[in-house]
Structure 1
């Protein structure tokens, strides 16, 4: 079948129907993938499909829980290990999102711990989510050991590095070749994640997102 927006909608509806839902509590869903795999757009479409089935949905962006640059770059600005180990403030993500939406959570959450553009910490007020809410967290490294046990359901977006680098080049102006020296931090850092976590094996569902249609 030729790829069309209707195919995309059908996929989202299928994925939404296959997602567990706690009516008397909260459901945590991960949308994982490398940089440039289309996580943000995918999560938004997925959320709309869940809402279309009558669910309350909160979408959290892991990039709103980045460490400040002094932490992210402490192993060196170009360090792949730094990208893999130091990018995210997992303590805040767990405290402010994963525990509140966990099996014993109260639904009181914060949407961010930092503003990565201004490179400052933020202290947002708590927001209350009604019981029955599904929380989608989209970002990188979501199947790493510290986080893997929190998810009720998870998706890994599979896209070749050659393609994600092209997408990043359009979005960020970076080199379109993943093997370019300037991309070493990201490409090698993701390979470290793959070696440590094999996210495609841990995910509930693996989605080929090479063609966003």
Structure 2
């Protein structure tokens, strides 16, 4: 297995070029997977302008806008890693409102926000009609291994030590969920692109599947 250090700027450009090589005339559903300490949202955000500059429109989705209601998420406590692992995010809603409409034969009309966590109510966001070659960039934790229909998957791999160092103390109760995810799902073994991010300033590409 070859691991190649790369600057953050070059990482973004290489990922953008890779995505541009995929299905130029159809929607492209991209999942950027990793705990918040690994920066999946930041990486997905950084890809928006380079993709647009290369000629592909982008729709950004974050799974923090696809949470299940608090009555479900917090049924077994506010810091239950098992619930976080298996019951925190509305994967069915993400599939129904985003991934399926952006898939083959889909309507091309997606919802970018389904749930408002602050009000614990439906976000009531309007539908967005995708342009014919749009890239749908979805970021969040625990995205892989659950049957969500992505065309390209990016996994941000982080050691447990780095995860604990960069996770705020109030959120460290989630760490067992990510340990379980690494052991049971092993996303680094099948994601299309794996980036090691123990140091966010010095990412490294795992190149065996490139």
TM-score (norm 2): 0.85
**Could you tell me which residue of structure 2 aligns to residue 201 of structure 1?**
189
Q: For residues 94-173 of structure 1, what are the structure 2 equivalents within 5 Å?
A: 94-147=95-148, 150-169=149-168
CA contact (8 A) 1:23 1:131 kept: no
Q: Residue 200 of structure 1: SS of its match in structure 2?
A: helix
Distance 2:38 2:11 in 1: 17
CA contact (8 A) 2:110 2:129 kept: yes
Q: For residues 22-101 of structure 1, what are the structure 2 equivalents within 5 Å?
A: 22-101=23-102
CA contact (8 A) 2:109 2:129 kept: yes
**1:212, CA displacement in angstroms?**
2.7
Distance 1:161 1:112 in 2: 30
Distance 1:30 1:76 in 2: 28
Q: Residue 24 of structure 2: SS of its match in structure 1?
A: coil
The RMSD of aligned alpha carbons is 1.9
Count matched residues: 196
Q: Residue 211 of structure 1: SS of its match in structure 2?
A: coil
**Could you tell me which residue of structure 2 aligns to residue 187 of structure 1?**
175
**Could you tell me which residue of structure 1 aligns to residue 12 of structure 2?**
12
Distance 1:138 1:211 in 2: 19
Distance 1:126 1:110 in 2: 5
Distance 2:144 2:65 in 1: 18
Which consecutive residues of structure 1, in runs of 5 or more, have no partner in the other structure?
176-181
Q: Residue 164 of structure 1: SS of its match in structure 2?
A: helix
CA contact (8 A) 1:31 1:39 kept: yes
